[in-house]
Chains A and B, each alone.
Chain A
Amino acid sequence: MKEIIKLSDVTYEYRSQSEERPPVRALDHISEEITEGQFIVVLGRNGSGKSTMARLLNALLVPTEGTVIVDGFDTSREEVLWDIRKTLGMVFQNPDNQLVATTVEEDIAFGPENLGVPSEEIRKRVDSAAATVGMADFLKHSPHMLSGGQKQRVAIAGILAMEPKCIVLDEATSMLDPKGRREVLNLLLTLNREKGMTIILITHHMDEAIHAHRVLVMQAGRLILHGTPREIFSRVETLKEAGLDVPHVTALLYRLKQKGIGVGELPVSTEEGIRSLESLISREGSGNKVNLLRPAGREHSESIVKIKNLTHTYMPGTAYERKALDDISMEIKRGEILGIIGHTGSGKSTLVQHLNGILKPTSGEIEVDGLSTGGKSLKELRQKVGLIFQYPEHQLFEETVYKDITFGLSKMMLPKEECDKRLKDAIQLLGLSEELLEKSPFELSGGQKRRVAIAGVLVMNPKVLILDEPTAGLDPKGSREVFNILKTLNHEHDTTIIIISHNMDDIAAYCDRVAVLSKGRLEMLDTPAKVFSHVDALKALDLDIPVMTQVFLALNQKGYGFEDIVLTVSAAEKAIMGSLGTMKGGDGHDR
């Protein structure tokens, strides 16, 4: 097979706006060849240079040193610019910011129109591209009425209509919910497997890398690893250093391997993981009871939030009337971490926006820490209930980080010492250094910005802290850090925490209880172990279950007898160790 992309010793530097500061090196001497027809996944933390590389491939940027050759064209030659962009299409991160036209079909037509393709030919291409991405029924729709996954599929169709050989996706799945991600990923696999299209997928979702022919790992502008997914994920320690992760099954078998259990290659996909585990344990010996549940140290008995028969209807009395919440009654306990899961549009965000009085119930009542949300003391209520929206860093606006963090605090009329103390506590908890306080929030990195935004709510000392998708767009390391902060806050300050998330593994690992919403109704409210044991019910709601739960359910179906629901990698490790323990128990050997 012939190579379609060739990077030779490529370096790229962003020149800074002021003369004094040195240029920032985003890519550092990268050489790589990509063969036509391959599915390539590029992994790396935020800021590792992945997006810069994508822009170099599309000739949106030209290398400072070295050359980039795309399909035989040197990207530094201006006259072949359009040939390159025709051959190599690009899909960007934010679905909203790449659709140009007011209808789906006009948007798909945009590329070929720019290329000067004749009208009848454009029509044909638009119809065929829309059919390929499964959007043929939406041709006349306006983009803002579509879901994130649908928007990205339209963006892909817009590229397909230009008939390229290669598509580069720059974190195009990072703003999507699991359903949208699945839609896009399946589409990419089909394009690659059936049409032989070269796909370069830039992502920090490790599970998307499993299907790749080759995986490239970037760290601080360098290409540190490349190989098949199996080769890459066997380098568990290197990946961790790069701030990345490995798939859950890989992590489990790696941990077991370190304890001397199991040999050979680490599995990559869930199915492989199940097979590897099967070869480790025997049917007869397995399934003894090891207490996998978290130690029941803390009792949450007192209710802090009481919701009674809450119903919310958007735009009542109009053609757009929609019941977003339907007769919800629940209590949230003081000091617990509650996870809320459900489809996009199931009412999760609507529900939490009632807790601080941003939305008013159409009917029903809510009481938070003795305060009715229908009362007049909205100010007091919003101090008790901190609500952090998705991508909170987009709401920063002050000149300095200090002013931004204290925006809400300064309206509380507290003595100065108290304010300073709270500020200090918050930035310490979030791991922000004091030097940042006088900087502009817009100078910070994405992860720092998010922490500043969270700090702005924490300084108000909320008793209940609500976070809508707190780790959206963060890489694995960034996500872990946010969850650790939340855990500390919960343990040390007894703050009640409510987390909305699509990531079932996070929910299973960190929450005390889980609420499941569907079509505005509360379907379940229980411990993660109980909720995730209702596999069929969750599947009917089109919700995922944690990877480890899937693995152990599959094992049980094959005749193994693990009794407890396994939620996390550590629990899985214990379960396997436990079952091996009885097996070996007879002859007294300890492994």
Chain B
Amino acid sequence: MIGNITLGQYIPGESVLHRLDPRTKLIWTAILMVAVFIMDSWQEYVMMGAFILLLIFTSNIPVKHSLKGIKPLLFILALTAVLNIFFFPGTALFTIGPVKVTYEGLIAAVKLFIRLVMLIMAASLMTLTTTPMAMTDGIEKMLKPLEKIGVPAHEIAMMMAIALRFIPTLMEETERIMKAQASRGADFDTGSIFKRVKSFIPVLVPLFISAFKRADELAEAMESRCYRGSKGRTRMKQISFTTLDLKASLVGLIFVALVFGTRIIF
């Protein structure tokens, strides 16, 4: 069933990573991602891998669970990596027909694969330890300074929160409509691509109508609960930086210095 996708969904916990301010996590996820892209030597790969593993352990989330995020993407990852093998000049290891497989190509493919896996792990570590609400709060706070130049920070965050809230609902609905139209004689599985795309009209039209209806009703419900944008609005859970965020950021800085510091020295 499509209604049960749990990819990167928040897992409650009390670990250090769970307790960090979402802004700290957002910033450091971004830094980690950049680091993954600029790392180059094997030493850097090993250290980075060790650091991400360390983070997973501190998060108290079973390693098996954090690896789950990779599984559905495995095919795309492998494909990207394999394509690399063939389009890399260098010393030929062996040839398959017209295609030359090079040593450098193989290395590049493996490196790319590891890189992508690390990227996904870093990103999913963030979503696994942060509630969607905290994440949107963090984004709102970070965008706040931009409000002066007309960026609707609160509205963007509210839209993200509502989208996250309704994804499962709309997925269930899609499944229900597909079943109902199939019962009325719709056929989604046979025919040319063009025909199959066309066969989705009976699903898309009701889905859109219902989404608009939901939006209407939700707006009404929010209004009747005194929603009027960010003006005068308080929050139950105030996000705030603590000494924990300071310590974590310090650890992060030391790590980055360790990994890339060698480059400057040598």
Contact = CB atoms under 8 A, between A and B. Distances in A.
B214 interface: yes
Contacts of A395: 177, 180-181, 184, 202, 206
A394 B211 CA distance: 11
Contact of B172 (A82, A103, A144, A315): A144
Given A92-B220, A101-B133, A123 B236 contact: yes
B225 A162 contact: yes
A353 interface: yes
Interface in A375-394: 379, 382-383, 386-389, 392, 394
Contacts of B263: none
Nearest to B3: A144
Contact of A97 (B168, B221, B233): B221
A116 B172 CA distance: 35
B1 interface: yes
Interface residues of A, number: 68
Given A320-B4, A395-B206, A105 B236 contact: yes
B229 to A, nearest CB: 9
A140 B131 CA distance: 10
A140 B12 contact: yes
A85 B225 contact: yes
Interface stretch (B14-22, B50-58, B158-166): B158-166
A442 B209 contact: yes
Interface string A355-374: 01010000000000000000
A223 interface: no
A382 B182 contact: yes
A484 interface: no
A461 to B, nearest CB: 12
Interface string B230-260: 0011111110000000000000000000000
A136 to B, nearest CB: 16
Contact of A98 (B202, B221, B236): B221
A471 B184 CA distance: 19
Nearest to B229: A114
B227 interface: yes
Q: Considering residues A100, A102, A116, which has the most beta carbons from chain B within 10 angstroms of its beta carbon?
A: A102
A111 B226 contact: yes
Given A102-B161, A387-B183, A114 B201 contact: no
Most buried by B among A55, A113, A457: A113
A73 interface: no
B227 A106 contact: no
Contact of B183 (A103, A122, A320, A457): A457
B49 interface: no
Contacts of A106: 133, 236-237
Interface in B185-205: 185-187, 201-202, 205
A109 B218 CA distance: 16
B136 to A, nearest CB: 9
Contact of A143 (B165, B187, B206, B235): B165
A387 B181 CA distance: 10
Nearest to B132: A102
B218 A97 contact: yes
A14 interface: no
Given A97-B218, A119-B234, A353-B179, A460 B4 contact: no
A407 interface: yes
Nearest to A386: B183
B234 A97 contact: no
A408 B233 contact: no
A112 B237 CA distance: 12
Secondary structure dominating the interface of A: helix
A297 interface: no
Given A97-B217, A98-B221, A315 B4 contact: yes
Contacts of A358: 179, 182-183
B220 A144 contact: no
A152 interface: no
Given A60-B220, A97-B218, A389-B176, A114 B233 contact: yes
A249 interface: no
B226 A86 contact: yes
Given A116-B234, A395-B184, A111 B225 contact: yes
A404 to B, nearest CB: 9
A340 B15 CA distance: 48
A456 B236 contact: no
B1 A158 contact: no
Interface string B114-136: 00000000000000000111000
Contacts of B233: 113-114, 116
A131 interface: no
Contact of B236 (A97, A113, A412): A113
B217 A144 contact: no
A232 interface: no
Given A382-B185, A392-B180, A110 B234 contact: no
Contact of B235 (A86, A113, A315, A394): A113
Given A140-B12, A397-B205, A119 B236 contact: yes
B223 interface: yes
A351 B168 CA distance: 23
B79 interface: no
B22 to A, nearest CB: 14
Contacts of A142: 168
A117 interface: yes
A396 B209 CA distance: 10
Nearest to A408: B185
Across the A-B interface, the 10 shortest Cβ-Cβ residue pairs: A408-B185, A397-B205, A98-B221, A97-B217, A109-B236, A387-B183, A122-B236, A114-B226, A144-B168, A111-B225
Given A116-B232, A162-B225, 8 more contacts: A97-B213, A98-B221, A102-B161, A109-B235, A110-B225, A122-B235, A126-B236, A144-B168
